[in-house]
Structure 1
Amino acid sequence: MQITLRHDPERTIAVPHAERSAAERTVWAREAAYAFAARNDVEEAVADRLSLALEDIASATGDDRRNLLIVGAEGRVLAPLTVFAAAEPLAEAEQAAFLWSPSALLPATTEVVESEQFGPGFTATLLERHGDHDFGFRRWLFVGRNATVGAILGPVAPYGLAFVEEIAAEVLRESALEGFVPTSDRTRVDQLDSAVVRVGEEWQL
């Protein structure tokens, strides 16, 4: 199934999913980073960071996913966005495993969202600890009648999510998966949303 990500080239860099050698990835990442910097009047130091990030993302591409690097706050915040496709609806246990993380430090912030191409979906924002570092992540899930689309934004410094998450949300609103049949049934996304314990809901007043 073909994933098409529509994105703003002034705020994002698409990472080719074709397999490349390590040397080829290094050359591509540097060329793409400096081309982006030149188009957007970005400092050379930022271009170097872009190059390293792009090379890292390019090493983890595959046929079942598409990758973008989102650039926020004039290059001070960089965040990978990975969009996955599965040619079947995921079981509820698989949905939960994708959305939630055992590394989460706080309850998730969640929202029911809508996409013209993917129908109703669910998104969860989590603060997670990996090793000695804390990162922000945002995940999206759209379960159609015949397929599933999932997306992960991050890792990114927790404060940085505010600069990149709306860019990622816009990409998902405008993108498409060939052959994906959306559903109008919101039961499952409402179930996911109602299952979240939000900070303050159980406080004794």
Structure 2
Amino acid sequence: MQITLRHDPERTIAVPHAQRSAAERTAWARQAGFAFAARNGVDDAVADRISLALDDIAGVTGDDRRSLLLIGAEGRVLAPLTVFAAAEPLPETEQAAFLWSPSALLPATTEVVESEQFGPGFTATLLERHGDHDFGFRRWLFVGRNATVGAVLGPVAPYGLAFVEEIAAGVLRESALEGFVPTSDRTRVEQLDSAVVRVGEDWQL
């Protein structure tokens, strides 16, 4: 199934999913990073950071996913957005495994969202600890009648999510998966949203 990501080239860089050698990936990443920096008037230090991030993302991009590097705050915030496709509706246990993380430090912030191409979906934002570092992640899930689309934004410094999550949401609103049949049934996404314990809801007043 072909994923098409529609994105703003002024705030994002698409990462090719074709297999390349390590040297080819590094050369592509450096060219793309410095070209972006030149178009947007940012300095060589930012261009180097963008190039390194692109090289890392290119190493894990494959046929079942598409990746973008999102760039916010004039290059001070860099975050990968990876969009996955499965040619079947995911079972509820797999949906939960994708959305939630055992590394989460706090309850998730969640929202029911809508996409013209994917129909109703669910998004969860989590603060997670990996090793000695804390990162922000935001995940989206759209379960159609015949397929599933999932997306992960992050890892990114927790403060950085504010600079890139609207860019990611815009990409998902406009993107498409060939053959995806959306559902109009919001039952599952509302179940996921109602299952979240929000800070303060269980306080005794």
Q: Please give the range of the TM-score, normalised by the shorter of the 2 chains.
A: over 0.9
Quote the RMSD (CA, aligned, Å).
0.3
Shift of 1:43: 1.0
Query: CA shift at 1:42, angstroms?
Result: 1.1
Map 1:13-52 onto structure 2 (within 5 A). Answer: 13-52=13-52
1:10-159 equivalences in 2 (<5 Å): 10-159=10-159
CA deviation string 1:123-166 (max 9, x = no partner): 00000000000000000000000000000000000000000000
- Name 1:199's counterpart in structure 2: 199
Counterparts of 1:176 and 1:43 in 2: how far apart (Å)? 34
Paired residues, number: 205
CA apart distance, 1:189: 0.1
Shift of 1:70: 0.1
Could you say what secondary structure the match of 2:103 adopts? Answer: coil
Residues in 2 aligned to 1:70 and 1:155: alpha-carbon distance in whole angstroms: 11
Question: 2 CA distance for matches of 1:91 and 1:126?
Answer: 22
1:186 equivalent to 2:186? Answer yes
- Show structure 1 runs of 5+ residues with no match: none
Q: Which residue is 1:2 aligned to? A: 2
Distance in 2, Cα, partners of 1:20 & 1:188: 39
Give the drift of 1:175: 0.2
How big is the shift at 1:68? 0.1
Normalised by the length of structure 2, the TM-score is: 1.00
CA distance in structure 2 between the aligned counterparts of 1:43 and 1:125, rounded to whole angstroms: 31
Letter in 1 for 2:124: A
Name the % identity. Answer: 90
Opposite residue 183 of structure 2, the aligned amino acid is T
